[in-house]
Structure 1
Amino acid sequence: MQVTAQNWPYPRWIAHRGAGKLAPENTLAAFRLGAQHGYRMFECDVKLSADGVPFLLHDDTLERTSTGTGIAGEQPWSALARLDAGSWHSRSQAGEPMPTLDNIAAFCQRNGLFLNIEIKPSPGADRLTGEKVADAAARLWQGQAVPPLLTSFSVASLEGAQATQPNLPRGLLLETLWDGWLQTAQRLGCIAIVCDHTLWTAETVAQVKAAGLRSASYTVNDAASAQRLAVLGTDGVITDRIDLFAPAV
């Protein structure tokens, strides 16, 4: 289907990096746990290995969430695939590998799940990462009813995605409301704004709605914030607290 702001198929609740902080982020173990909690949509970070394989990792470097060292994007997938991406979290997750986007696509499709891919380029690879991740997403979800939502803080990454796969839905990620943010989202053909939840006010929600776009938030981990966003009429909530929020609510 062609996903637009008007034809929006995604559920309201989205599990951050698979299962928030309850499992090693951006791994299949996290996706499995999120699904066990009833979540139907997941957010994850995708970047490129040195040889162009799209895989899941948030940071530029490997140290925080794996047994590797250095800049992830400078290493081939054959080296990255051997790393332990679970033992940093807990002993029970030791040996969990970093998944490729192909792995995650297969899991989501077999289980009828939705995906938000945050394009997370390594330094200097913004446009290329947008192009390659979008191409991979188009290939992997070809023939599927609902494609993934591609988002990024990087304008160049979204430009790359727009140029190569214009029919895939896109969203602009914002940490601050910098000058021209809404006009930039419109130029990029985005259907959603995804921002720090504290940036949503009655005025900013009204601006986005008037522009014909959807509104979503990261990272919402307390009930008061979730309720405030519901009252404002926003459309999506990304959370670490899959244990606190029932996704059907």
Structure 2
Amino acid sequence: MLQPWPYPYLFAHRGGGRLAPENTLAGMATAVQHGYGAVEFDVKLSRDGVSFLLHDDTLERTSNGQGLAATQDIAALSRLDAGSWFAPRFAGEPLPTFASIAAYCRAHRLLANVEIKPCPGREAETGQAVATLAAALWQGHPAPPLLSSFAWEALLAARDAAPQLPRGWLIEEQWPQDWAQRLAALQAVSLHSDHLLLTAERVAAVRAAGYRVLAYTVNDAARAAELRQWGVDGIFTDALDVIRP
């Protein structure tokens, strides 16, 4: 039996998709402006153990920082400019803490998919820390954040740290033959797949086993409609201006 599912079909990928710098407060505000009710973003740990938003292990692509994010304290990370790389009007946009984004989501009734994105070697530590903090930040909220990760150890640690939070397993490159056993081991609620790996038959099988199916990253409206016809429960999109709620 499928469990209750409070999340909408559309998630704004990394907050603002292709319309704002990823994993920033400006990105979350862009999702709100386009009528989105859910966002997805990446969380990892600073050197001093603070959860903050960043996709890459290194800082160069999406900020004016340099080097490995895991080697810097949150004080230094918070001073970086994470907006100018995208467009001049976003100059000075900081790398936000997980706590600040959680507060924004709650204030604006945004549901969240929190992707645990550990730096290499910190999988279990990051899974435990992010799950524990997520449980505290959304305590008493009717729709908790959905935790997901490609990192198996991180998801196991999240399961043990906050078993009450829903979890989804992220897959890429190939379809796992043992998906049912893996989802059961995680006590997961959903499978998150590259949309190119999905077929109508695979979606039906996963849902028949009692799990939801989410697809990334879907930027074509016709593809989004096709996936929905197959029974996919949610998609992550960068095309907030094309695929509208």
For the pair 1:75 / 2:72, whether they are aligned, the reply is yes
Matching residue's letter, 1:163:
D
Q: Among residues 27, 52, 58, which one is paired with 1:55 in the alignment? A: 52
The offset of 1:7, in angstroms, is 1.0
Please give the alpha-carbon distance, in whole angstroms, between the structure 2 residues aligned to 1:209 and 1:5: 7
Q: Which runs of 4+ in 1 moved over 4 A?
A: none
Q: Counterpart of 2:210?
A: 212
Give secondary structure in 2 for the equivalent of 1:35.
helix
Q: Counterpart of 2:237?
A: 239
Please give the alpha-carbon distance, in whole angstroms, between the structure 2 residues aligned to 1:128 and 1:83: 24
CA contact under 8 A between 1:5 and 1:192: conserved in structure 2?
Answer: no
Please give the alpha-carbon distance, in whole angstroms, between the structure 2 residues aligned to 1:44 and 1:239: 12
The offset of 1:5, in angstroms, is 4.3
The offset of 1:179, in angstroms, is 4.0
For the pair 1:156 / 2:153, whether they are aligned, the reply is yes
Q: Counterpart of 1:46?
A: 43
Q: Counterpart of 2:175?
A: 177
Q: How does 1:69-218 map to 2 (within 5 A)?
A: 69-175=66-172, 176-218=174-216
Please give the alpha-carbon distance, in whole angstroms, between the structure 2 residues aligned to 1:112 and 1:223: 25
The offset of 1:163, in angstroms, is 0.8
Please give the alpha-carbon distance, in whole angstroms, between the structure 2 residues aligned to 1:122 and 1:27: 19
5+ residue gaps, structure 1, are none
TM-score, normalisation: structure 2: 0.97
TM-score, normalisation: structure 1: 0.96
Matching residue's letter, 1:50:
R
Please give the alpha-carbon distance, in whole angstroms, between the structure 1 residues aligned to 2:70 and 2:114: 17
CA contact under 8 A between 1:126 and 1:154: conserved in structure 2?
Answer: yes
Matching residue's letter, 1:10:
Y
CA contact under 8 A between 2:2 and 2:207: conserved in structure 1?
Answer: no
Matching residue's letter, 2:75:
S
Deviations along 1:212-232, one digit per CA (max 9) or x if unpaired, are 000010000012211220121
Matching residue's letter, 2:55:
H
Q: How does 1:19-38 map to 2 (within 5 A)?
A: 19-38=16-35
Deviations along 1:129-169, one digit per CA (max 9) or x if unpaired, are 00000001011011111110000001100000001111100
Matching residue's letter, 1:243:
D
Please give the alpha-carbon distance, in whole angstroms, between the structure 1 residues aligned to 2:206 and 2:11: 20
Question: Closer, same or farther in 2 for the Cα pair 1:192/1:65, shift >3 Å?
Answer: same
CA contact under 8 A between 1:153 and 1:174: conserved in structure 2?
Answer: yes
Give the count of matched residue pairs.
Answer: 244
CA contact under 8 A between 1:115 and 1:148: conserved in structure 2?
Answer: yes
Matching residue's letter, 1:227:
A
Please give the alpha-carbon distance, in whole angstroms, between the structure 1 residues aligned to 2:62 and 2:102: 21
Matching residue's letter, 2:83:
G
Aligned-pair identity in percent equals: 54
Matching residue's letter, 1:218:
Y
Deviations along 1:9-57, one digit per CA (max 9) or x if unpaired, are 0011100011101110000001101100000100000000011100000
